[in-house]
Amino acid sequence: MTQLHELSASELLAGYRSRQISPVDALLDVLSHVARWEPHLQATYLLRPEAALAQARQSEARWLRGAPCGPLDGVPVTLKDNIATQGDPTPLGTAALPLVPAAADAPPAARLREAGAVLLAKTTMPDYGMLSSGLSSFHALARNPWDLSKGPGGSSAGAGAAAAAGYGPLHVGTDIGGSLRLPASWCGIFTLKPSLGRIPIDPPYTGRAAGPMTRGVEDAALMMQVLSQPDARDSMSLPAQPIDWLQLAPGVQRLRGLRLGLLLDAGCGLATDPEVRAAVQAAAQRLADAGAIVEPMEPFLTRAMLDGMDHFWRMRSHMDMRTLTVEQRAKVLPYIRAWADSAATLNAAQVYEASQQFHATRVATVRACAGYDYVLSPVAPITAFAAELPSPTDDPLRPLEHIAFTVPFNMSEQPAASVNCGYSASGLPIGLQIAGQRFDDLGVLQLAHAFEQLRGAQRPWPAPPAP
């Protein structure tokens, strides 16, 4: 028998509408499930059952009156630590920062509250969001529900783990180099890193995007109709557009004649694991068998581009840490300190040259994708790595070797999704990245939805360890 915490947002809303499910009963089941998982996963921050129950009771009353306040009324949702919620501190995953209550909801939080979603909890992240792991000086170590010895990825670490484990159907993370897609890939869930500005965020930054993290495409589409509403606080926010986010049809029929690029070599960084390569190739073949035209692509990201972005971000973090007291700085994760400190030897000319690599990456990515409707690739060259490691290389001087497939689409501002396409021999999920032309977020969702229909049955979601 399906439990309430296993239901999608669409299924919950249908149950609320027919009065066969209560928002209170749904939340209580989710909370019970979280209680079984959380000692093992450590995915949440500010988990407040009573506050969530109060929201659920209000939602229940609205549904009983036949007057839901928005399209997500009563559906449990989590938000990443770095998405501000009014009255709550936003530690950014680090013990170094003072815990100052946020003055207002950030745009994603504001839109979800307006839509009636029940804020279950915030989710964990590594220090400053600068790791693809769940290692943090503030939060407990987050783990992957598929294999507790592995990390969930990052920096949306807790969100990825929570979505895979069934902490309700809806979760929101952020991404500046792969922080949505990497945990989605390693936790077997779906995410969309939208076009820059599609989902307003505060503060905005080059390449930074918020996005939905769900078990399937349909729930992500539900979230997009809420999250994509404009917000003046984001100077990069796109104007309102009448996009029918739930128009996921015609599904597989849409594949006929689509030109898809297949990128199996990122050009630099870690080599693609044979199991990952095989899973992505098999996914591409399924799409080709359904009528798409799949063509191999040459790599376009260079070592100079990847290192340049790394060096610039090192200097940015180095300057940020110069504002900390000695006591505060000592609390930062040692790996992050070592990485940031390495920028101290960079001169002005080197930092300038590093800064130019963001635009170089943008130009190369747009040029490489220009001849295709969509581009297929691995999300990450490897499957999930040991939970205790800050990065796959465990080397602060080689921190970005695993993001060569993802970071180009942050710089080019193109939408890119991760959808599960297979499993390793040890049972770890493998993500297929689908990138589209700038602003074609709906098209990426539609292609991902078509692939969901083609990929066949998935393995059961992981269950909490027996007591």
SS3 category, 407: helix
The answer to whether the beta carbons of residues 206 and 236 sit under 8 Å apart is no
The token duo for 278 is: 């095989």
Which of the following is catalytic: 155, 156, 237, 418? 155
Length of the chain: 467
What pairing do the DSSP bridges indicate for beta strands 429-436 and 374-378? antiparallel
Q: For residue 122, indicate whether it is catalytic.
A: no
- Is the C-alpha dihedral spanning 122, 123, 126, 128 positive or negative? negative
DSSP 195-221: STTSS--SS--TT-EEEEEESSHHHHH
What pairing do the DSSP bridges indicate for beta strands 259-262 and 374-378? parallel
Which of the following is catalytic: 22, 133, 137, 179? 179
Side by side, the strands of the sheet bearing 118-123 are: 44-45, 118-123, 76-80, 170-175, 209-214, 190-193, 416-423, 429-436, 374-378, 259-262, 293-296
* Whole-angstrom distance, CA of residue 25 vs CA of residue 286: 40
* Whole-angstrom distance, CA of residue 55 vs CA of residue 31: 14
Which of the following is catalytic: 22, 59, 80, 137? 80
- Is the C-alpha dihedral spanning 118, 441, 391, 88 positive or negative? negative
Which single residue is written with the structure tokens 């060096």? 311
* Whole-angstrom distance, CA of residue 74 vs CA of residue 119: 9
The answer to whether the beta carbons of residues 444 and 416 sit under 8 Å apart is yes
* Whole-angstrom distance, CA of residue 145 vs CA of residue 162: 8
Q: For residue 179, indicate whether it is catalytic.
A: yes
Q: For residue 80, indicate whether it is catalytic.
A: yes
What pairing do the DSSP bridges indicate for beta strands 76-80 and 118-123? parallel
Cis peptide bond N-terminal to 426, omega within 30: no
Which single residue is written with the structure tokens 């009771």? 57
* Whole-angstrom distance, CA of residue 166 vs CA of residue 8: 10
What is the set of active-site residues? 80, 155, 179
